[in-house]
Chains A and B, each alone.
Chain A
Amino acid sequence: MNKEGQRASTGRDPVDDRELVESARKGDRDAFRTLFERYHRRAYALAFGVLRHPDDALDVVQDAFIKAHKYLDKFEGNSSFYTWLYRIVMNLAIDHLRKHRRAKPVELDEQHLEEGAAAGDDALLPKFLGGNPGRALLDKEIRARIDQALGELSENHRAVLVMRELEGMSYEEMAQAMGCSKGTIMSRLFHARKNMQKRLVDLMEGRRVTDDETEDAAASGSRG
Chain B
Amino acid sequence: MKDADLMSLADGELDEREARDLEDKLARDPIARGKLDAVGELGELVRGHLELSADAVPQKKFDALWREIDKGIERASAESESTPATKNEAAPAPAGFLRRVGRWFDAHRGHIISGVVGAGAVATLALILRGPSGDNLAGTKGSHPIDTTPVSAPAEIESLDTPGGTGTVFNLEDDDGDTTVIWVTPEDTVEGI
Which of B3, B12, B13, B70 has the largest number of chain A CB atoms within 10 A?
B3
Which of B41, B42, B90 has the largest number of chain A CB atoms within 10 A?
B42
B44 touches A48 (CB 8 A): no
The answer to the question of B69 belonging to the interface, with a C-beta cut-off of 8 Å to chain A, is: yes
B35 touches A124 (CB 8 A): yes
Q: Chain B interface secondary structure, helix, strand, loop or mixed? A: helix
A190 touches B73 (CB 8 A): no
Give the contact stretch, choosing among B48-56, B141-149, B153-161.
B48-56
Annotate B59-102 by CB proximity to A: 1 below 8 A, 0 otherwise.
00110011011101100100000000000001001011001100
The answer to the question of B11 belonging to the interface, with a C-beta cut-off of 8 Å to chain A, is: yes
For A61, what are the chain B residues with a Cβ–Cβ distance below 8 Å?
Answer: 65
A124 touches B6 (CB 8 A): yes
Which residue of chain A is the closest to B96 with respect to CB atoms?
A59
User: Given A41-B57, A170-B13, is A62 in contact with B65 using a C-beta cutoff of 8 Å?
Assistant: yes
B45 touches A125 (CB 8 A): no
Which residue of chain B is the closest to A189 with respect to CB atoms?
B7
For A45, what are the chain B residues with a Cβ–Cβ distance below 8 Å?
Answer: 50-51, 53-54
A190 touches B7 (CB 8 A): yes
B7 touches A124 (CB 8 A): yes
The answer to the question of A171 belonging to the interface, with a C-beta cut-off of 8 Å to chain B, is: yes
A124 vs B68: C-alpha distance in the bound complex, in angstroms? 44
The answer to the question of A91 belonging to the interface, with a C-beta cut-off of 8 Å to chain B, is: no
B4 touches A42 (CB 8 A): no
The answer to the question of B43 belonging to the interface, with a C-beta cut-off of 8 Å to chain A, is: yes
- Give residues 156-172 of A contacting B (CB, 8 Å): 161-162, 164-166, 170-171
For A209, what are the chain B residues with a Cβ–Cβ distance below 8 Å?
Answer: none
A164 touches B11 (CB 8 A): yes
A62 touches B68 (CB 8 A): yes
The answer to the question of B128 belonging to the interface, with a C-beta cut-off of 8 Å to chain A, is: no
A118 touches B39 (CB 8 A): no
B39 touches A193 (CB 8 A): yes
- Give residues 61-93 of A contacting B (CB, 8 Å): 61-63, 65-66, 69-70
The answer to the question of B173 belonging to the interface, with a C-beta cut-off of 8 Å to chain A, is: no
A117 touches B44 (CB 8 A): no
B13 touches A171 (CB 8 A): yes
The answer to the question of A136 belonging to the interface, with a C-beta cut-off of 8 Å to chain B, is: yes
A150 vs B76: C-alpha distance in the bound complex, in angstroms? 36
User: Given A45-B54, A164-B11, A190-B4, is A143 in contact with B41 using a C-beta cutoff of 8 Å?
Assistant: no
Using a CB–CB cutoff of 8 Å, the interface residues on chain A facing chain B are 1-2, 29, 32-33, 36, 40-42, 44-46, 48-49, 54-55, 58-59, 61-63, 65-66, 69-70, 117-129, 131, 133-134, 136-137, 143, 146-147, 150, 161-162, 164-166, 170-171, 186, 189-190, 193, 196-197, 200
Using a CB–CB cutoff of 8 Å, the interface residues on chain B facing chain A are 1-4, 6-8, 11-13, 31-32, 34-35, 37-39, 41-55, 57, 61-62, 65-66, 68-70, 72-73, 76, 90, 93, 95-96, 99-100, 103
17 CB < 8 A contacts A-B? A1-B54, A2-B55, A29-B70, A41-B51, A45-B51, A62-B69, A66-B69, A66-B73, A66-B93, A120-B1, A127-B34, A137-B48, A171-B11, A171-B13, A186-B7, A189-B11, A190-B3
